[in-house]
Amino acid sequence: MFRRNFLKNSIYGSFSASTIISLSNKNNPVVKSVPRIISTWKHGINANKIAWKKLNDGEGGLTAVEYGVRDSENDPNERSVGYGGLPDRDGKVTLDACIMNSKNDCGSVSFLENIKNPISVARLVMEKTPHVMLSGKGAYDFAIENGFKSENLLTDQSKKDWENWLNKSEYKPFINIENHDTISMLLIDSDHNLFGACTTSGAAWKMHGRVGDSPIIGAGLFLDNDIGAAAATGLGEAVIRTAGSAMVVECMRNGMSPMEACKEVVNRISNLHKNRPEWEYLQVGFIALSKTGDYAGYSLKKGFNFALTDDKNDSVLIDSLYKI
């Protein structure tokens, strides 16, 4: 319990590889930094557990991150991911996702309707096509051709919420919507190979056809197996304007720690948006993982948290540092 509270309440919100050590031999502590998984928000706790089991069962990092975030996609109580996600202003649930492996192979789908697990479709785009992204009806047709089932993703609760929204028809994204949002997951395995996944149903009440940062390689997710990985959550338009996740990785390439890199890009976003009308409801958070297993989470405003799983931490939730 002490360790859990320490992790959650640390003023740093970022821990180097040297922080997690084995105390079996106090005279010769052994650094244990990998394997390690981090993911955004509270629903990352269970997602991490599933991914950790897949990794320990020998199924590999890519399958681990895929099935980890699928847990959120399948949960109707997660209102910003997959089945049960809040719809656009036309009452349609549209999904975005992307996935990357340690070789920088990547796959993505955007504006996908009636398919519960877009992350798995994104993986097939990576493995079965010469493309990186499929969108809309093309992504849907590809999913059906590969055995996915078409199903209604609008739950009764989400439909009710949409009908209530129609009474005002005001578009205003929620900050830290019920303490969760897009799920992004980063994983480093025992060989120091990196993997990542990101999936969302996007902003509630968005215009039909809107796509955010989550399926965009370099915005919602990016990794370089020689350097590190980063992923985003929050208002996608702000992340896209700065190529957020790619910039976090580039900052690490230039010598910054994961925490320093996340702070740098959040500062860029803050400077770019502080005089824009969306500033009132703007929230952006990043998680980052270095090639050595160091990690961090940082956000623009208070309320962002992320889940950590490794040999010493069974899916603990960490409150990130924030700018304002």
Are residues 265 and 289 in contact, defined by beta-carbon separation less than 8 angstroms? Answer: no
DSSP 1-57: -HHHHHHHH-SS-EE-GGGSEE-SSTTS-EE---SEEEEESTTHHHHHHHHHHHHHT
Give the count of alpha carbons within 13 A of 160, CB side only: 4
CATH of domain 2-322: 3.60.20.30
Are residues 277 and 284 in contact, defined by beta-carbon separation less than 8 angstroms? Answer: no
pLDDT, one tens digit per residue, over 123-146 is 999 999 999 999 999 999 999 999
Q: Which residues of the chain have pLDDT under 50?
A: 1-32, 177-180
Q: What is the pLDDT of residue 29?
A: 36
What does the mean pLDDT of the chain come to? 89
Rounded Cα distance, 302 and 323, in Å: 8
If you ran DSSP here, which 8-state letter would residue 149 be given?
P
Rounded Cα distance, 51 and 66, in Å: 8
Q: Annotated catalytic sites, by residue? A: 182
Are residues 197 and 145 in contact, defined by beta-carbon separation less than 8 angstroms? Answer: no
Q: Alpha helix locations (H) across 94-150?
A: 118-128, 136-145
pLDDT, one tens digit per residue, over 70-87 is 999 999 999 999 999 999
Rounded Cα distance, 117 and 221, in Å: 18
C-alpha torsion 44→45→49→54, nearest 10: 10
Per-domain residue ranges of the chain? 2-322
Q: What is the pLDDT of residue 236?
A: 95
Are residues 287 and 231 in contact, defined by beta-carbon separation less than 8 angstroms? Answer: yes
Query: What type of residue is 175?
Result: I
